[in-house]
């Protein structure tokens, strides 16, 4: 018996799926799940130029206040590049986190709220009109 193994045209194709290469940059994800509900209000219904208090409220899917979170706020004057301020909101009662911001100009400001809780990051971007 003569066994002839004719190995012709054996191509080894290594498909390297580098799906994990984006791990170096952790981008905050837009909060699409119901895990953290982020809402914001201001101390005045018609915020004007100058000091304004922003109150962020955090709720879970059962509408219970979320405590012990880290809440980073940044504000960008939408019509101008480089006019940015940021800070950490101070926790209050009932899932509220407050920060006082000095808006130097009227117009539309983009408020970016980044919430960190137990290693998970949630993000919400809102527009705020300063009169
Ligand atoms: Cu400006």
* Cα–Cα distance, 89 to 99 (Å, whole number): 5
What's the chain's average pLDDT? 82
Residue 6 is predicted with a pLDDT of 45
CA nearest to 113, candidates 8, 35, 40: 40
Kindly report, residue by residue over 78-100, the tens digit of the pLDDT: 999 999 999 999 999 999 999 99
Bridge partners of residue 77, in order along the sequence: 109
In the reported structure, the alpha carbon of residue 82 is separated from the centroid of ligand 1 by a whole-number distance in angstroms of 8
Model confidence pTM above 0.85: no
Name the DSSP letter for residue 112.
E
Per-residue confidence at 16, pLDDT binned at 50, 70, 90? very low
In the reported structure, the alpha carbon of residue 32 is separated from the centroid of ligand 1 by a whole-number distance in angstroms of 30
Mean pLDDT value across residues 105-114: 97
In the reported structure, the alpha carbon of residue 102 is separated from the centroid of ligand 1 by a whole-number distance in angstroms of 12
In the reported structure, the alpha carbon of residue 55 is separated from the centroid of ligand 1 by a whole-number distance in angstroms of 22
In the reported structure, the alpha carbon of residue 1 is separated from the centroid of ligand 1 by a whole-number distance in angstroms of 89
Report all structural domains of the chain as residue ranges with CATH numbers, in order of start: 19-130 (2.60.40.1930)
Residue 7 is predicted with a pLDDT of 39
């Amino acid at each position: 018996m003569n066994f002839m193994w004719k190995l012709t045209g054996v191509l080894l194709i290594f498909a390297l799926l580098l799906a994990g290469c984006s791990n170096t940059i952790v981008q905050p994800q837009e909060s699409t799940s119901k895990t953290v509900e982020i809402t914001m209000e201001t101390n005045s219904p018609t915020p004007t130029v100058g000091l304004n208090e922003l109150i962020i409220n955090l709720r879970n899917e059962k509408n219970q206040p979320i405590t012990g979170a880290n809440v980073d706020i940044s504000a960008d004057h939408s019509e101008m590049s480089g006019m940015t301020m940021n800070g950490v909101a101070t926790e209050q009662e009932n899932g509220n986190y407050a920060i006082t911001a000095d808006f130097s100009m009227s117009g539309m400001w983009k408020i970016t709220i980044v919430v960190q809780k137990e290693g998970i990051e949630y993000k919400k971007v809102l527009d705020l009109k300063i009169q």
